[in-house]
Structure 1
Amino acid sequence: MKFHEQHPGDLPKEHPQRLSRESHINTELICRRLGNSSDVSVRSLRLDWAHVQRECVIQLIFLDGMVNNQVLEESFIPAIQSAPPAPEGHSLLDYFSNQILSAGQVRTAGELSGAVKDILSGCVLVLIDGCEEALALAIQGYEKKSIDETKTETVIRGPQEGFTDDLRTNITMVRRKMKDERLRIVTRSVGQVTQTDISILYIEGLADEQVLNRITEMFDQIGLKTVLEGEFIEEYLQGNKYTVFPTVLNTERPDSITAGLAEGRVAIMVDGTPFVMIVPSLFLDFIQSAEDSYQPYLFSSLIRILRLTAVIISIFAPGLYIAITTFHQDLLPTRLLLSIMFQREGVPFPAFVEATLMEITFEIIREAGIRMPRNIGQAVSIVGTLIVGQAAVDAGIVSAGMVIVVAITGISSFVIPAYNMSIPIRLIRFLFMGAAASFGIYGITVGFVILTVHICSLESAGVPYMRPYAPYLKSEQADGVFRSPYWSSSRNKRTRNGA
């Protein structure tokens, strides 16, 4: 698959300017193009070869802090200075690239814009007098985050390594786990100002061509000036632009990306972030955890059912409490009804206002715990919830039953493995609370039907969001709500996304 180059519409189009045969002219043009920035370093080397009418001048241009200075000073510069004269009739460019410079990756640049981009990417640009092209040595040496365990997808059993902020390191981590020769990696730059590198990974023959074409079209539509994280790209991948449900899964785990690629999906890596996107992503993917594959299948199946139960509780629990206490008291046993009525005797607000106040308070405390320093954030969340809840009950503002319902609802939302799935569930909860306060259980039922129809109408890169249950595909039930054992025959027959 070939990805076409992007031509931003709001930037002036310029004709490609070729490099000059004079190295000092190229140096002046490049330094001027970079605004004579203080971090632009220029090294001039002169080689006095007897058979050359004049000395050979070589200019090295690089950004200070972006290259490996030790390799440059101890390997490349001494190699150039001690280089013997080039044989007669040999091109200086080929002579230096093939016999003198031993970088892991040496490429040529014939245009000024390409040479500047190589410098900004951390390469050392080698300009040789008499050559109309330059050499770009890939010896990046800038500081980058080391490989560490994931921060958002912790597991008890399984690989503990997570992606880093460096694109090349992330690609290498996937290569280590996937040694299939059909793995294809296409890299291009996105963002008119940032020129962020983005890599698309897929297995040729397994990935659906329609999904690849959709991604290609998406990249051709991007006209952003800055791309700093995957969310800048993710919003373009959303099939339904106005849904609150995520249709692109983000993960920090190389094993999750490897498993997705083996299923025929496409991974999208953005340089500068450890979160990798994978499409298409289905609803069940946000409920499943990487650890499900490393635990016994019975335990994994029970945990998945528990997560789905937690999702249902998180969405419907406050609404059901409001509906029953407001309209359908006859559904409760007499003793339980009397207990709730006794608790609410001094509460001045209706159940809907009471629940809304407690839910908003809980969300504020949760957000404060996330944003505060890690050492005290967890303590503030727990202590703050306990103190506020107990004080509200003692003051007669809310009932003890409402505090229990809100606490169970909040804890259930933490069970969802994907954070971007817990956000829409928290939003939908308020809609069901309003429907319950207005129409009781009838309102909840109508809201549930609308929600089901909406979810079933969603797509992720052209694949139904509720697959394999809507539409029902028997061949893909091996890893649905229930995880079948690896020795079962259905495992070997399972296909997904055309794989």
Structure 2
Amino acid sequence: MLIMKFPKKITKKSNKIDETDYGIYISKDINKNIARLKNDFGCSSDLEVTYFMFDNNKDFICANLYIESLVDRNIINDLSLEMAKLKYEYCNAKPDINSNIVISYFSRIRDSKEGSDYETLYADLLAGDTVFLIDGYNKFYTVDTNADEGRSVEEPTSQTVIRGPKEGFTEKINTNILLIRKRLKSRALRLEKLSIGNITKTTVCLMYIHDIAKDEIVQEMRKRLANIEIDGILEGWYIEELIKDDRHSIFPVFVSSEKPDSVVAALLEGKLAILIDGTPYVLTAPALMVEFLQASEDYYHHYIVASMMRVLRFITFFLTLLVPAIYIALTTFHQEIIPTPLLVSIAAQREGVPFPAIVEALIMEVAFEILREAGVRMPRAIGPAISIVGALVLGQAAVEAGIISAIMVIVVAITAISSFAIPYYEMSNAIRTMRFILMSLAAFLGLYGVFMGLIVMTLHLCKIKSMTVPYLTPIAPKIKGGNKDTIFRFPLWKMKYRPIGISGTDTARTHGHNPVSSDQKEKPELR
């Protein structure tokens, strides 16, 4: 047999390692190296160490190490066959086999690389690689044997579309890079990998298109990622919270997407993408306020239809934010604004309600938020049914019991349905939080408090930046010609240039005319 446990008679040297002798680079003594590895890994039961030697040269000792839970056993078996082949090729013909022969053989194995320091060795082991050590040689070789386990490419769960690509990112970063590269076949696409997390060593990849992405934004992103000091990165929000400009703002400044086509579209506009190993969500920045009310499907329908849907989303944005606050303000302080027939109807419904409008609204809003949270946390098979039935039964019972009025059920229903129309969950959460603040202001100050809250919120949005780019661009600051893809979506042949202030180039991305009417004289477009 080629591979066997190391005989006791060969281990002549002591395996004890003095802590004061620890260095950065591996030693030529294979026993010392393995003893240190076992000590640093706490003699973990899944750390496999196998010694092997060649019959014609019993003094030439090698060893391979891997973490059993991280490797693919089929690849390990294939490596065993490769080493058996090496023995057959060299041992019979060349009895004086040495490290140079083994090293030259390793260079022919796929995905092999060489290293000399312990930190790199540990990183390779924890990445699922197999490490080969040779006695008398102060370097090691690693072969990629990582078990490629994980979820396959499926349809995104949080960004469903009627028309458009159905592929979604997975938790494997290499698969996500593949999904982007197969859509963006350009040599200008740049990838920069780094490891973040003092303990988890999470692989993070920064992607951008050279000459389209603005160099100042790329440099700023590199600096912020390099300055992250944390034990571990488990999801993209860790990075967003650590590198965002205004860390106390509840508004998201990174777009989190499960769709490769959305990320590719952002890269083509000059934005940057951050891929994190272990999460199916990819962050893109700079992110603008208007992007959170847009959907990738807007570009797969006629521009008039897409514009109508965008206007509808902006309406639902304001409905989610203002409907409960305005209802509280009108019924508490400004009854004269309400038309008389409607006021009489509201007064008749509230006649038996013992609570003021703010308490009534808070009861229903909090109850709905509880039902929403319960529906998310419940098992998928029964979660929607529980939330729907719970809302119907609870609302009807509360009205019949006289705790709340029927008009309040309508107000909460409009608010809840409108919040579901916001494409991005992060923005929906921010608006739900702001809704409670405006409700409190309306209860104490009426419409004056609502308008003051809106002014403060607008000033806050004007202050926010996403990777040095103002959050309300291109509305504030106003950019001439930059509103062709905000509230309304202009035809693609009208959106000739990339977003100013984000893209690092002013070259046109389209010819600027409709191919159907190419015989017509093209009118110059003002940027």
Q: CA deviation at 1:93?
A: 6.3
Q: CA RMSD in A?
A: 2.3
| CA gap 1:331/1:97 in 2 versus in 1, 3 angstroms | farther
Q: Distance in 1 between matches of 2:238 and 2:499?
A: 33
Q: Distance in 2 between matches of 1:81 and 1:369?
A: 57
Q: Distance in 1 between matches of 2:153 and 2:408?
A: 44
Residue in 1 aligned with 2:147? 141
Residue in 2 aligned with 1:456? 462
Q: CA deviation at 1:14?
A: 11
The residue identity in structure 1 corresponding to 2:48 is S
Contact 2:371 2:391 in 1 (8 A): yes
* Structure 1 stretch displaced more, 64-73 or 249-258: 64-73
Does residue 80 of structure 1 match 2:83? yes
- SS of 1:474's equivalent in the other structure is coil
Task: Flag structure 1 segments of 5+ consecutive residues without an equivalent.
Answer: 1-12
How high is the sequence identity, in percent, across the aligned residues?
A: 37
Q: 2:431 aligns with which of 408, 411, 425?
A: 425
Q: CA deviation at 1:97?
A: 5.3
Q: 1:68 aligns with which of 46, 69, 72?
A: 72
| CA gap 1:142/1:358 in 2 versus in 1, 3 angstroms | same
Residue in 1 aligned with 2:514? none
Mapping of residues 24-39 of structure 1, within 5 Å: 24-39=31-46
Q: Distance in 2 between matches of 1:248 and 1:197?
A: 19
| CA gap 1:358/1:189 in 2 versus in 1, 3 angstroms | same
- SS of 2:246's equivalent in the other structure is coil
Alpha-carbon displacement from aligned partner over 1:101-122 (angstroms, at most 9, x marks no partner):
5443211110122111110111
Number of equivalences: 482
Q: Distance in 2 between matches of 1:475 and 1:496?
A: 12
Residue in 2 aligned with 1:268? 274
Residue in 2 aligned with 1:217? 223
* Structure 1 stretch displaced more, 316-325 or 430-439: 430-439
The residue identity in structure 1 corresponding to 2:60 is C
Contact 2:51 2:63 in 1 (8 A): yes
Residue in 2 aligned with 1:5? none
Q: CA deviation at 1:405?
A: 0.5
Residue in 1 aligned with 2:523? none
Q: Distance in 2 between matches of 1:283 and 1:238?
A: 15
Q: CA deviation at 1:423?
A: 0.8
Q: CA deviation at 1:268?
A: 1.0
Residue in 2 aligned with 1:490? 495
The residue identity in structure 2 corresponding to 1:27 is I
Contact 1:97 1:106 in 2 (8 A): no
Contact 1:24 1:59 in 2 (8 A): no
Contact 2:194 2:203 in 1 (8 A): yes
Q: Distance in 2 between matches of 1:94 and 1:208?
A: 47
Q: CA deviation at 1:335?
A: 1.2
Q: CA deviation at 1:34?
A: 1.3
Q: CA deviation at 1:16?
A: 4.8
Task: Flag structure 2 segments of 5+ consecutive residues without an equivalent.
Answer: 1-19, 505-527
Residue in 2 aligned with 1:8? none
The residue identity in structure 2 corresponding to 1:107 is K
Contact 1:264 1:496 in 2 (8 A): no
Residue in 1 aligned with 2:264? 258
| CA gap 1:117/1:25 in 2 versus in 1, 3 angstroms | same
Question: What TM-score, normalized to structure 2?
Answer: 0.87
Q: 1:326 aligns with which of 323, 326, 332?
A: 332
Residue in 2 aligned with 1:9? none
| CA gap 1:413/1:93 in 2 versus in 1, 3 angstroms | farther
Q: CA deviation at 1:195?
A: 1.2
Q: Distance in 2 between matches of 1:365 and 1:448?
A: 28
Q: Distance in 2 between matches of 1:191 and 1:468?
A: 36
Contact 2:106 2:141 in 1 (8 A): no
Q: Distance in 1 between matches of 2:250 and 2:471?
A: 13
The residue identity in structure 2 corresponding to 1:23 is I
Alpha-carbon displacement from aligned partner over 1:411-430 (angstroms, at most 9, x marks no partner):
11111111011111111111
Mapping of residues 229-308 of structure 1, within 5 Å: 229-308=235-314
| CA gap 1:127/1:417 in 2 versus in 1, 3 angstroms | same
Alpha-carbon displacement from aligned partner over 1:314-340 (angstroms, at most 9, x marks no partner):
010011111111222222222111111
Question: What TM-score, normalized to structure 1?
Answer: 0.91
- SS of 2:495's equivalent in the other structure is helix
Q: Distance in 1 between matches of 2:478 and 2:114?
A: 53
Mapping of residues 340-379 of structure 1, within 5 Å: 340-379=346-385
Contact 1:80 1:101 in 2 (8 A): no
Q: 1:59 aligns with which of 60, 63, 68?
A: 63
Which one has a bigger Cα radius of gyration? 2
Q: Distance in 2 between matches of 1:452 and 1:471?
A: 13
Q: CA deviation at 1:47?
A: 2.3
Does residue 477 of structure 1 match 2:477? no
Residue in 2 aligned with 1:226? 232
Alpha-carbon displacement from aligned partner over 1:360-390 (angstroms, at most 9, x marks no partner):
1111111111111111110111111111111
Q: CA deviation at 1:209?
A: 2.3
The residue identity in structure 2 corresponding to 1:59 is A
